[in-house]
Amino acid sequence: MPDPPFVRGRPPAGGFKDCYPVRWDGRQAVVVLPEHIGQANAGQVSEELLSVINRGADPLIVDMTGTISCDYTGADALLRARQRAVSSSTEVRLAVADPIVRRTLNLSGLNRMISIYPSLEAAIAAGASAVPPGAADSVITPEALRGLLDALSRAELSLRGALESSGDAARPRIAEALRHLTEGIRGITPTAAGVDFPGRAG
């Protein structure tokens, strides 16, 4: 099946060069990621996705159909892109064919934040409000989201208390955990702000 009629995005002023192939159709951008994503290139992947979001992509479709290995650093790169996308009101869709890569992303929790499709064609065809086939159990209900935010907030308070009372050796690790937790809360909060929670005052 031939590729859809995309036009490669033009680099902005300053001579930006894409690290990975980017195909544009209006504002829709498809970024093709490599076979292997890990510590050696996760930073580059993150910068590429953030750059495409900054250039106004919506939706951003991440083509990982050719990716056969992705470790936690790759999942973290996708998470950072998702956090930027939330603040930019950009929809992100992943196309992942390899079951092991899909399992890695699921274990990281990304399947609860980003729609994941089994093929590039399915990701392109999906509407902004569509739920990917077989992903009904990945939709976060208002009650679950409220509970998650409450739990994260309590964990943040506990970590702050531990940071103040811990010894010097443990402080860097606690501070790092606190930073990741705070970033996670900030990434979820814009989404929660638009949720009509049951019983919330209007």
* pLDDT single digits (tens) 157-174: 777 777 777 777 777 777
Q: In a 3-state reduction of DSSP, which class is residue 191?
A: helix
pLDDT on residue 6: 38
Compute the distance between CA of residue 3 and CA of residue 201 in angstroms, rounded to an integer: 49
Domain span at 169: 142-193
The pLDDT tens digits for 116-141 are 999 999 999 986 444 444 444 445 55
Cα(first)–Cα(last) distance of the chain, in Å?
50
Distance of CA 91 to the CA centre of its chain: 10
Residues 118 and 162 in one domain: no
Task: Indicate the residue type of 96.
Answer: V
Q: Does 88 have pLDDT greater than 70? A: yes
pLDDT on residue 120: 93
Q: Does 56 have pLDDT greater than 70? A: yes
pLDDT, averaged across the chain: 76
Residues 50 and 91 in one domain: yes
Q: Are strands 28-32 and 60-64 parallel, antiparallel or unpaired?
A: parallel
Compute the distance between CA of residue 90 and CA of residue 85 in angstroms, rounded to an integer: 5
The total number of structural domains in the chain stands at 2
The tokens describing 140, both together, are: 């976060």
Q: Does 183 have pLDDT greater than 50? A: yes
Residues 154 and 178 in one domain: yes
DSSP character at residue 137: G
- Quick one: average pLDDT of 85-101? 93
Helix, strand, coil % over all residues of the chain, rounded to 5: 50, 15, 40
Using a cut of 0.85, tell me whether the model's pTM lies above it.
no
Q: Does 103 have pLDDT greater than 80? A: yes
